[in-house]
Amino acid sequence: MPAQILAQCHAHGVEAYPEETCGFIVGNLDDTESLETVYPMRNIMNELHKEDPEQFPRTGRDGYMIDPREHMKLERSLKKAGKQIKVIYHSHPDVGAYFSEKDKEDALWNGNARYPGITFLVCATNQGEAGDAILADFNATENDFDITEIPAKTTAASSGLLGGTFGVSGILPTLDFIHEWKNGKRELEYGYFRFVPPKQVKNLQQQLAARQQARHALAYSSGRAALLELLSYLQDSRPLTNLHLASTETFIADALPSLEITPRSFNLNQLPAAENFSGKEGDLILIAPEDPQNFVRKNAGWLGKFKKMRVPVIIFEEAVSGFWPADILDEWPHGLTYWISG
C-alpha cells in the first residue's frame, strides 16, 4: 500500500469524522500491483436510515453504504480507461481498525468472496485523528480473511496534515455536487468530491476551466512542496508565466530563482485592478495573506474577476487549518482559484 494512497484514505476519514467514510482505490487493469488513485464515495447510510430505520438501523456514525449511482458511474469510466477497482476502503471512528463481523458479512456471498480479488482497507480515526489501519484479503483455502496490520506510526497521515504528504493533489466537485448546490444544498459533503493525484493535475485544471458554474476549491497538502510543484507545472503548461506575488514568506522568495521565475510584487492593501491581468499573457497571481479566510471574504469580488480572464490565483496559507467554514463557500470565487495549506 503506497504511503500517499493510504494517506488520502486516512485524510478522508479525518475530514468526515465522526462519521464513517468509504471509497475505492483504483489501479491498472493489467497490473495486479497497481494502486494509483483514491476515489472517495458518498456514504448514504444516513439517508437509508432516515427512510427505513428498521431495515437500516445503523447511521453514518457506525456504518457505511457506498452510493450505487456513483459506483456505477465510476465503473463505466474505469472500463473505458483500462482501470479497475483494487481496494474498497472505509473508516472506523473511535473503535480502532479491525475487520468487523458486519464487514465480513458484506464482503461474502454464500461463504465466498463477493468481490473476488478485492482487498479491503479499514482506517481508524481516533478523536478526529488518523490512527492505524488493516488490510483484509479473502483466503479461499481457509474460507476466511487474512489480516495485515498497518501501525499508525507508518502511515503518512500520522503527521496531522490533511492528506499526509501526497504532494499536489486536489478535490474536484462532481456533477452531483453542482446540481445540489444549485438546488440549495450547501453542505461541503466529502462524498461529492474525488481526489486527484499529481499525474492528473493537467486534466484537473482543464476540467475546472470547462465548468462554468462550479465552486472550485482545491485543497493541497504538504504545502511548501505542493506550492513549488504547482508553480513548476503552471510554468511548463503555459506560454509564459508572469508571477504577481503578494507575500512575505521568505521560502517563496528563496525558491523562485531555482524555478527561473522573477516575480512582480504588489501590496495586498492596494490591490491592482484585475483588468490589468491577462491569462493569454501567462499572468499568475500568488497571494500569502496573514488571514486567508478573511482576505477571501473581503475580496471575493476582486478574485472572481479573474475567471473570465483565465488567470490562475493561488492562495497560500502557512498553517494547516483543514477545510474552511461552510459560510465562506458563498464567498469563494469562481475560476482557477487554488488554495494551498501546510
Domain membership of residue 102 (yes or no) is yes
**Contacts with 14 (C-beta within 8 Å, 6 or more apart), sequence order:** 125, 128, 129, 130, 157, 162
Q: Categorize the per-residue pLDDT at 333 as very low, low, confident or very high, splitting at 50, 70 and 90.
A: very low
Which of the two residues, 247 and 293, has the higher pLDDT score? 247
Residues 135 and 180 both lie in one domain: no
Residues 79 and 182 both lie in one domain: no
Residues 140 and 31 both lie in one domain: yes
224-253 tens-digit pLDDT: 655 665 676 566 655 556 889 998 777 777
Highest mean pLDDT among 97-106, 126-135, 260-269: 97-106
Domain membership of residue 110 (yes or no) is yes
Domain-terminating residue out of 159, 184, 206: 159
Q: What is the pLDDT of residue 229?
A: 59
- Domain containing residue 251: CATH number: 3.40.50
Residues 155 and 194 both lie in one domain: no
Question: Domain range holding 128?
Answer: 3-159
C-alpha span between 144 and 259 (Å, rounded):
53
161-182 tens-digit pLDDT: 222 222 233 334 444 544 554 5
- Domain containing residue 108: CATH number: 3.40.140.10
Domain-terminating residue out of 159, 181, 215: 159
Q: Categorize the per-residue pLDDT at 7 as very low, low, confident or very high, splitting at 50, 70 and 90.
A: confident
CA separation (Å) from 307 to 114, 149, 277?
47, 47, 11
Q: Categorize the per-residue pLDDT at 335 as very low, low, confident or very high, splitting at 50, 70 and 90.
A: very low
Q: Number of folded domains in the chain? A: 2
Residues 122 and 24 both lie in one domain: yes
Residues 79 and 222 both lie in one domain: no
Residues 192 and 115 both lie in one domain: no
C-alpha span between 320 and 223 (Å, rounded):
8
Q: What is the mean pLDDT of the chain?
A: 74
Residues 274 and 125 both lie in one domain: no
* 93 contacts 42 by C-beta, under 8 angstroms: no
Cis peptide bond upstream of 2, omega within 30: no
Look at 60-74, 282-296, 319-333 and tell me which has the smallest mean pLDDT: 319-333
